Amino acid sequence: MAKPSKPAPKSKPKAAAAKAKPAPKAAASKAATPSKTAGAPKPAKRVKAPPPPPIVTLARAALGQRVDAPQVRSLLGAVRLGPLPGSTPNSAVAHVQDETLGLELAATFFLRTRTHFPPKREGPRWANWLSQVTFTEGWKGALPEALSFALKEKALAAQGFVQVPRGRGLVWAKKLDGGLMLHADWRDEKRVSLRVDEEVDFITRFPLDTGLRDGRHLVGVEDAFLAAWAGLSGVLRADRLSNDALTALRDRRVSPLGFLEGPLGGVLWSGDLEPAKVDFFQKYYRGVGAADDFRFGKDAAAVFGKLNQHRAQTEALTADSWAAYDALAPKLTQRLTEWNRARL
């Protein structure tokens, strides 16, 4: 009898079919969930403020400006100094300073430049201009032109500084661009001054409406004789006068005072003179480094008896005439000759 056959064994399901693998979380969530930052504005980058301009740069921009100008206010704000008080004919220079900081600012109503002349009166006040910024040895910042208080005078000379009269002595000076001058005063306490490049004012005849001169027209006529002599003696710069003005002076078609007030504009300053003759005027007119008897004022008083400014209201004044000029002119020529000899 045949044995019954065994049933075929059941096949085991494959592991892959029994349980499906879950999809990767990253792939599933990426498609389903939007980005948290999508569409949000990016934060703005912080821009660093530029460093403030150096004090020397602010000073250069402010010099020669009115004391209420933005450039001067910027300088004062940067060094935390108060406003400059106004100067007047009774107090020709106004100062504001901080000794601890080592800084001093000066303003004046009378800047000796053609741009700022004559002084401007505005009601009861005078227009004031920033004239000088001075750094003393307490100053810790940079100095103009990379100067140092440790420099010796020989080093100043090597950098183009020359000695010029200042007050009762000499300081080292150097012309800069922009109508500025740099002074290094090494006499006592060392001081470096950045200042407006002013002329030396030998003769200044202010307009009457400024109230800065005697109302008597002939006061100062002696200065007019000196100015006319300078024009006739080659002491003025060769290009200072037009041909017409020089011809009128030579032909005496204008009085000495008319010449001073007309072609010279009321002033005879260092910029009007031949450069080599500035020293003559420094010594003879201002008495800088000259003997006591080498003085224009003394010579004029000796010729006319008195200067008009010293005459009483009832006294007769020296006239604005060529006769009076002729009385003084030989003495002026003699003094120029003496000065020339002393230079040899």
Q: What would the pLDDT profile of 108-131 be if each residue is shown by its tens digit?
A: 999 999 999 999 998 889 999 999
Chain CA centroid to CA 126, Å: 19
235, 246 contact by CB (below 8 A):
no
Q: What's the confidence (pLDDT) of residue 49?
A: 64
- Tell me the domain boundaries of the chain: 55-198, 202-343
Q: What's the confidence (pLDDT) of residue 138?
A: 93
Q: What's the confidence (pLDDT) of residue 24?
A: 52
Q: What's the confidence (pLDDT) of residue 40?
A: 67
The pair of three-digit structure tokens given for residue 11, joined into one six-digit string = 């096949």
Q: What's the confidence (pLDDT) of residue 28?
A: 45
- Measure the N-to-C terminal CA separation of the chain; round to a whole number of Å: 165
**3-class DSSP state of 278:** helix
The pair of three-digit structure tokens given for residue 6, joined into one six-digit string = 């065994």
- Torsions phi, psi for 273 (to 5 deg): -100, 155
Question: How far, in Å, CA of 56 to CA of 69, rounded?
Answer: 17
**3-class DSSP state of 150:** coil
Strand partners, 269: 201
Task: Encode the chain (344 residues) as per-residue pLDDT tens digits.
Answer: 444 555 555 555 444 444 455 555 544 444 445 555 556 677 666 666 667 689 999 999 999 999 999 999 999 999 999 899 889 999 999 999 999 999 999 999 999 999 999 999 988 899 999 999 999 999 999 999 999 999 999 999 999 999 987 777 789 999 999 999 999 999 888 999 999 999 999 999 999 888 898 889 999 999 999 999 999 999 999 999 999 999 999 999 999 999 999 999 999 999 999 999 999 999 999 998 889 999 999 999 999 999 999 999 999 999 999 999 999 999 999 999 999 999 86
Q: In which element (H, E) is residue 131 found? A: strand 129-136
Let me know if 10 is exposed, middle or buried by CB neighbors in 10 A (0-12, 13-18, 19+): exposed
Q: Is the pTM of the predicted complex or chain greater than 0.95?
A: no
Q: What's the confidence (pLDDT) of residue 169?
A: 79
Question: How far, in Å, CA of 162 to CA of 136, rounded?
Answer: 20
